[in-house]
Structure 1
Amino acid sequence: MSPHSRGVLIDVGGVLVRDYLPAASAAWGRRLGLSAAAFMAALYEGDESGVLIGRVSADAWWETVRERLRTGPDVIAELRRDLASRETWDEALVAGLRGLRARGVPTAVVSNTWPGLRTRMSQGGLLDVADHLVLSCEAGCAKPDRRIYEIALRLLGVEPADALFIDDTPANGAAARALGMDGHVHTGTAQTLARVEEFTARR
């Protein structure tokens, strides 16, 4: 691989996977007699960083969620299945990434995620979407920690100045730019694909 190769790093939630949480939180909040905000807080607030970096198992975290929601294990099992079923991948972005790989452009998925994403990607035939998957629950660190970006850059064999980082969270993009990467805040598929094409076409 040329030391001057341009690489693309891309997020999953809210980018490759469309944001399904607002609809899910509204639906489950109604079912459980909570506001959507209260439901989201039960899922993600507090010490969620432990499960994101692999220090807490997904099952243990869901037990915490069950206690917060004051519900039974059957409801939690249904909730987990429902959230997984709502995970819809952006076909155009997936095709775009596969196209980059076919052209020899190094690519990496860099995601803050609970355990299980790699398995779901495998089941969906999506492990080929990028050269490397850098998942916070496996890496032991999460965006915006610089270490997770450095892991991805090392795997890709590209310098920060030759890397484009795509995320829907501005703070994560700011952390990437602080390391010398180019950053793009995802707001829509067409804009992101155009940004990738513009970046990878540079010499």
Structure 2
Amino acid sequence: MKSIILIDFDGVIRQWPGNEVNQAEALLGITQGALYSCAFSNELLSLAVCGEITHQQWCDKVTEQLARSWNRDAAVQLVKIWNQAHWDIDWALLEGIRNHSPDGKIVLVTNGTSRLEEDLTASKLDGHFDLVVSSSHIGVAKPDRLFFEIALQLAGGCPHNAIFIDDSATNVSVAKAMGIDSITHINRDETLAFVRDNY
């Protein structure tokens, strides 16, 4: 019997509906996609989500890299807009999961930076998870198999009594290889059907 629901944060529970960054890049004369290309480069992203640098240090490094190619003031402004971009929480998804698994342990498993707790508070998500496992706390990020092993250990479970929801096909592939029933999140209805059928 399944008793643990491992669920990702960004791209699943938290959605970014706007295009503030793209609009800002156009207004500031910065090449489209430059910020994301820099911020989510393997080098910088890994440092941030594995807790080797803080969220603020990550932003500072992104600013410095952008400033090498564009006006520094523009780089500072763009990173500020990125940090203040609007997000939505899929409350219906969370409610649906809880309805399908009233006795289940819902575990947030995320490649988060040091700002995760602040974001959870701002989103009014405090207390909505039985456990939060963040890569920046444990020092290893998805899709590393060790991330899932640690998450399951902390949750008191094993692959065969857990399900996993993530928007990354790579992360899902690793979890499946470990024996965790998993789904790549595309939309709420499909994910809730998966939880209903597999919990």
Is the 2:5–2:107 Cα contact (8 Å) retained in structure 1? yes
Q: Which moved more, 1:133-142 or 1:70-79?
A: 70-79
Which residue is 1:63 aligned to? 60
Which residue is 1:142 aligned to? 141
Which residue is 1:91 aligned to? 91
Which residue is 2:32 aligned to? 36
Write the distance in 1 (CA, Å) between the matches of 2:38 and 2:79.
15
- Does the residue aligned with 1:148 lie in a helix, a strand or coil? helix
Gaps of 5+ in 2: none
Write the distance in 1 (CA, Å) between the matches of 2:108 and 2:169.
17
Change (3 A) 1:12 1:155: same
Change (3 A) 1:7 1:91: same
Q: Which amino acid aligns with 2:93?
A: L
Q: What's the CA shift for 1:80?
A: 4.7
Is the 1:5–1:158 Cα contact (8 Å) retained in structure 2? no
Write the distance in 2 (CA, Å) between the matches of 1:68 and 1:50.
15
Which residue is 1:117 aligned to? 116
1:13 to 4, 10, 33: 10
Write the distance in 2 (CA, Å) between the matches of 1:124 and 1:20.
15
Q: CA RMSD in A?
A: 2.1
Q: What's the CA shift for 1:37?
A: 2.2
Change (3 A) 1:113 1:20: farther
Which residue is 1:133 aligned to? 132
Q: Which amino acid aligns with 1:174?
A: S
Deviating runs (4+, > 6 A) in structure 1? Answer: none
Write the distance in 2 (CA, Å) between the matches of 1:132 and 1:188.
24
Give the TM-score, by structure 2 length.
0.87
Write the distance in 2 (CA, Å) between the matches of 1:29 and 1:58.
21
Aligned residues: 193
- Does the residue aligned with 1:133 lie in a helix, a strand or coil? strand
- Does the residue aligned with 1:128 lie in a helix, a strand or coil? coil
Identity %: 28
1:78 to 80, 89, 99: 80
- Does the residue aligned with 2:127 lie in a helix, a strand or coil? helix
Write the distance in 2 (CA, Å) between the matches of 1:20 and 1:56.
27
Give the TM-score, by structure 1 length.
0.85
Is the 2:25–2:31 Cα contact (8 Å) retained in structure 1? yes
- Does the residue aligned with 2:10 lie in a helix, a strand or coil? coil
Is the 1:109–1:134 Cα contact (8 Å) retained in structure 2? yes
Is the 1:53–1:142 Cα contact (8 Å) retained in structure 2? yes
Write the distance in 2 (CA, Å) between the matches of 1:109 and 1:100.
17
Q: What's the CA shift for 1:15?
A: 0.5
Write the distance in 1 (CA, Å) between the matches of 2:25 and 2:5.
37
Q: What's the CA shift for 1:81?
A: 4.3
Write the distance in 1 (CA, Å) between the matches of 2:146 and 2:110.
13
Write the distance in 2 (CA, Å) between the matches of 1:100 and 1:129.
15
Q: What's the CA shift for 1:40?
A: 1.2
